[in-house]
Amino acid sequence: MQGTAEEALANPELMQLMLPILRADFLLCGSFTYGERQPLTLPIHVFGGKQDSVRADQLLDWQLDAASGFSLDMFDGHHFFLVQHESAVLRCVRRYADEHLARWRIGATRQLVAG
């Protein structure tokens, strides 16, 4: 498993603890089917790894579920790019959260003024 330390995979106690969780995750992922639904009324920001098996064009499909804005950031790395780029990802999360909050405040102020 990419991103998992060999020491962790070789630890029987840790694997005994983690295997039921991993099995449940794989079962959920394997059984999920997408269904049509209303887009979310909040912006969606997606992060991806440039060398991950999930390609950027696949991640762009999330914009179909975003009625209030969509953005995508790609980082070097595979599925666990977050480990390598933790600081940069957190800066992006902070920036997008600040931008969303600023837009929300402007909208709330306009509603108050309009009465």
pLDDT class of 1 with cuts at 50, 70, 90: low
Q: In this structure, are 62 and 109 located in the same domain?
A: yes
Q: In this structure, are 13 and 49 located in the same domain?
A: no
CA dihedral over 98, 104, 105, 106, signed as positive or negative: positive
Q: In this structure, are 53 and 16 located in the same domain?
A: no
What does pTM read for this prediction?
Answer: 0.70
53-106 pLDDT, tens digit each = 999 999 999 999 999 889 999 999 998 899 899 999 999 999 999 998 998 898
Q: In this structure, are 15 and 55 located in the same domain?
A: no
Q: In this structure, are 9 and 45 located in the same domain?
A: no
32-35 own/partner pairs: CB under 8 Å, 24+ apart: none
Phi and psi at residue 50, in whole multiples of 5°? -60, -30
Give the residue numbers spanning the domain of 71: 41-114
33-58 pLDDT, tens digit each = 878 889 999 889 999 999 999 999 99
State the total domains in the chain. Answer: 2
- The Cα 26–Cα 40 span in angstroms is 25
